[in-house]
């Protein structure tokens, strides 16, 4: 039995180590590329643009020279003006919906800002899903990428005429540009939903595509430095099968074939383009400066090709990866909870239900841990009883081993010894594999909790108490990992042993290994495991007294 328990422990540690430490580092970005001649994006250390400080109006008007693109403008009260084709007026149309504020510029008829009202960055500003850019850039979402550089330059730098109206609760922004040789029309239909509709037409017909990106948003420092946070991977769904394009390994240009949708994601947010008609999707990459040391970071664009008639229509989603929201829009596969996704979704349902009463996800985790402990109690009880029996029959096991002193080198003796051991287990009513199950069950639950806390936006920035302000981030002072290690030592000291010296050493090394692994994991995961240890200690105290009073009971 000892070997089976050791195997289960080692496998658990190996899986956790691979998951928490090794896997994120298997494919580092080793390719160092020269810094582009011109900066394309604001470095990642640039803070997100602040949210509007006043109620957003329907439009703003300013001169192009006075208002560089990529910077948030304070909302104004001036009505939108008719902009002559080729004129000098730069305008922004602001769509103030219940859950977001979207800003469209008539410079290229692009989306220059999409702020989520219900989600904040660390500095308290609203989450911005359009990455900050250097002034003058024109590669905002819904910019045109054409094989003809002249078409791209004209379409993305021109000032479009705007027809801004509302019909049946839907905001319609119609942009038109024509210089006699090129005509472009873009129409956006936006309601209160995160999903909105777009239509693009270019005449004369030419090969082009509509792109979003690069990346999905400006990262905070903590997110940039974390090895557990997905930051700007590509996603594409074809034939109801989702594929993730890793940001670090993406090619300069990847033709994806006919797609259902294509986009960019991080752990908590998503932006996608979904064409109405079968269209070819594209993901392409650029390398941009990512700090003061001239480090480079690969960023992705997601795009959809227009049809041969020069027209393209579809829907776009810019928003949070909320479980029920993604289910509503058919984007549920982008919420990836990993190998044990079913367990993670079950835990999420349980936590959100409990949180309605606790109003604190930390206490919800504690309550859910107690419920899980109750469900697993029979197995844990059986394991402790089995270990007690193993401890009691240790002299008989040692006697069998003494009869087969050459078992380590003689296969025949080892086989006979194992047969005698199994006979002894049967006589004593012990299942040698029974003790492995509690350990094995912890791995999928821990994995589910980790993926839940790393990807469920419902728990993003969820505070607990005192120094833990974000259950989805690591404990900044490593207090909970230390407490987890201490409780593991206490638990191991109370656990019945068979007297094997190697087993004792393994049991006392394991808390150190687990503490090292868990110190960088979300504090909510550590809280779950800490509570599991505390409850197991209480259970063992009761069982030790129970066994003392009734040693013959099973």
Instruction: Give the separation between CA 376 and CA 438, rounded to whole angstroms.
Output: 8
Q: Tell me whether strands 296-305 and 208-212 are parallel, antiparallel or unpaired.
A: antiparallel
Region class of 179: left (phi > 0), else alpha (psi between -120 and 50), else beta: alpha
Q: Note the pLDDT of residue 500.
A: 56
Q: Which residues of the chain have pLDDT under 50?
A: 1-6, 8-10, 12-13, 15-17, 19-87, 551-554
Q: Note the pLDDT of residue 223.
A: 65
- In eight-state DSSP terms, residue 82 is P
Instruction: Assign 225 to helix, strand or coil.
Output: helix
Q: Please name the helix (run of DSSP H) or strand (run of DSSP E) that holds residue 36, with its range, or none.
A: none
In the block, residue with structure tokens 């959100």: 352
In the block, residue with structure tokens 């099968």: 241
Region class of 136: left (phi > 0), else alpha (psi between -120 and 50), else beta: left
Closest CA to 418 of 402, 393, 400, 433: 400
**Tens digit of each residue's pLDDT (9 = 90 or more) over 184-238:** 999 999 999 999 999 999 999 889 999 998 888 877 766 665 556 677 889 999 9
Q: What's the Cα-to-Cα distance from 434 to each of 254, 371, 378, 429, rounded to whole Å?
A: 50, 22, 11, 11
Relative orientation angle of helices 523-549 and 436-455, to the nearest 10 degrees: 160
Closest CA to 263 of 271, 255, 254: 271
- Quick one: how far is CA 52 from the chain centroid? 27
**Tens digit of each residue's pLDDT (9 = 90 or more) over 2-30:** 444 445 444 544 544 454 344 334 433 32
Q: Note the pLDDT of residue 529.
A: 87
Within 10 angstroms of residue 284's Cβ, the number of other Cβ atoms is: 20
CB 259 within 8 A of CB 236: yes
Instruction: Give the separation between CA 216 and CA 212, rounded to whole angstroms.
Output: 9
User: 514-536 burial by CB neighbour count: b if 16+ within 10 A, else e?
Assistant: bbebbbbbbbbbbbbbbbbbbbb
Residue 531 CB contacts under 8 Å (≥ 6 apart), including other chains: 365, 366, 369, 370
Half-sphere exposure of 278 toward its Cβ, with a 13 Å CA cutoff? 4
Instruction: Give the separation between CA 183 and CA 175, rounded to whole angstroms.
Output: 11
Instruction: Assign 284 to helix, strand or coil.
Output: strand
- Quick one: how far is CA 228 from the chain centroid? 8
Instruction: Give the separation between CA 253 and CA 301, rounded to whole angstroms.
Output: 9
Q: Tell me whether strands 100-105 and 89-96 are parallel, antiparallel or unpaired.
A: antiparallel
Backbone angles phi, psi at 269, to 5 degrees: -135, 160
Residue 301 CB contacts under 8 Å (≥ 6 apart), including other chains: 139, 145, 211, 212, 213, 214, 264, 282, 283, 284, 285, 286
Residue 463 CB contacts under 8 Å (≥ 6 apart), including other chains: 360, 362, 469, 470, 471
Closest CA to 141 of 222, 198, 179, 221: 198
CB 33 within 8 A of CB 464: no
Q: Note the pLDDT of residue 343.
A: 85
Within 10 angstroms of residue 429's Cβ, the number of other Cβ atoms is: 10
Residue 233 CB contacts under 8 Å (≥ 6 apart), including other chains: 244, 245, 246, 247, 264, 265, 266, 300
> Which long-range contacts (C-beta less than 8 Å, at least 24 apart) are formed by 486-492?
487/530, 487/533, 487/534, 487/537, 488/514, 488/515, 488/533, 490/533, 490/537, 491/533, 491/536, 491/537, 491/540
Instruction: Give the separation between CA 81 and CA 89, rounded to whole angstroms.
Output: 9
CB 525 within 8 A of CB 450: yes
Q: What's the Cα-to-Cα distance from 186 to each of 108, 406, 489, rounded to whole Å?
A: 9, 83, 65
Instruction: Give the separation between CA 257 and CA 238, rounded to whole angstroms.
Output: 8
Within 10 angstroms of residue 309's Cβ, the number of other Cβ atoms is: 10
């Amino acid at each position: 039995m000892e070997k089976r328990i050791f195997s289960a422990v080692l496998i658990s540690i190996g899986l956790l180590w691979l998951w928490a430490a090794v896997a994120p580092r298997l494919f580092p970005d080793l390719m160092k590329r020269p810094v582009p001649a011109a900066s394309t994006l604001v470095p990642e250390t640039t803070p997100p643009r602040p949210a509007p400080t006043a109620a957003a109006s329907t439009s703003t008007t300013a001169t192009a020279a006075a208002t560089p693109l990529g910077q948030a403008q304070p909302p104004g009260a001036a009505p939108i003006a008719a902009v002559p084709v080729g004129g000098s007026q730069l305008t922004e149309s602001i769509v103030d919906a219940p859950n977001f504020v979207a800003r469209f510029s008539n410079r290229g008829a692009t989306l220059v800002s999409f702020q989520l009202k219900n989600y904040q960055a660390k500095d308290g500003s609203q989450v911005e899903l359009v990455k900050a850019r250097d002034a003058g850039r024109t590669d905002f979402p819904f910019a045109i990428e054409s094989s003809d550089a002249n078409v791209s330059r004209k379409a993305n730098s021109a000032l479009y005429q705007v027809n801004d109206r509302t019909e049946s609760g839907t905001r319609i922004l119609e942009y038109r540009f024509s210089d006699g040789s090129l005509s472009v029309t873009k129409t956006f239909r936006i309601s209160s939903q995160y999903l909105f509709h777009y239509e693009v037409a270019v005449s004369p017909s030419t090969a082009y595509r509509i792109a979003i990106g690069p990346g999905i948003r400006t990262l905070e420092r903590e997110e940039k430095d974390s090895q557990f946070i997905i930051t700007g991977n590509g996603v594409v769904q074809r034939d109801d099968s989702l594929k993730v394009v890793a940001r670090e390994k993406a090619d300069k240009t990847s033709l994806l074939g006919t797609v259902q949708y294509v986009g960019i994601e991080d752990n908590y947010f998503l932006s996608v383009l979904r064409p109405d008609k079968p269209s070819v999707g594209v993901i392409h990459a650029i390398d941009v400066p990512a700090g003061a040391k001239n480090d480079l970071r690969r960023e992705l664009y997601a795009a959809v090709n227009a049809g041969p008639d020069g027209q393209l229509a579809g829907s776009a989603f810019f928003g949070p990866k909320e479980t029920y929201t993604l289910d509503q829009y058919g984007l549920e596969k982008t919420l990836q909870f990993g190998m044990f996704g079913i367990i993670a979704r079950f835990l999420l349902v349980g936590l959100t239900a409990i949180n309605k009463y606790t109003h604190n996800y930390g206490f919800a985790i504690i309550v859910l841990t107690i419920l899980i402990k109750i469900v697993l109690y029979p197995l844990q009880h059986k394991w402790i009883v089995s270990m007690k029996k193993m401890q009691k029959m240790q002299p008989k096991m040692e006697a069998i081993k003494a009869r087969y002193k050459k078992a380590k080198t003689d296969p025949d003796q080892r086989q006979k010894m194992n047969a005698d051991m199994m006979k002894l287990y049967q006589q004593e009513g012990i299942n040698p594999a029974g003790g492995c199950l509690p350990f094995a069950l912890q791995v999928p639950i821990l994995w589910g909790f980790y993926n839940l806390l790393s990807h469920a936006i419902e728990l993003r920035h969820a505070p607990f108490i005192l120094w833990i302000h974000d259950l989805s981030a690591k404990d900044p002072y490593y207090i909970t990992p230390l407490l987890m290690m201490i409780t593991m030592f206490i638990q191991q000291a109370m656990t019945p042993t068979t007297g094997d010296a190697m087993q004792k050493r393994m049991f006392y090394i394991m808390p150190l290994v687990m503490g090292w692994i868990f110190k960088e994991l979300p504090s909510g995961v550590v809280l779950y495991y800490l509570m599991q240890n505390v409850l197991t200690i209480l259970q063992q105290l009761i069982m030790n007294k129970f066994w003392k009073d009734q040693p013959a009971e099973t």
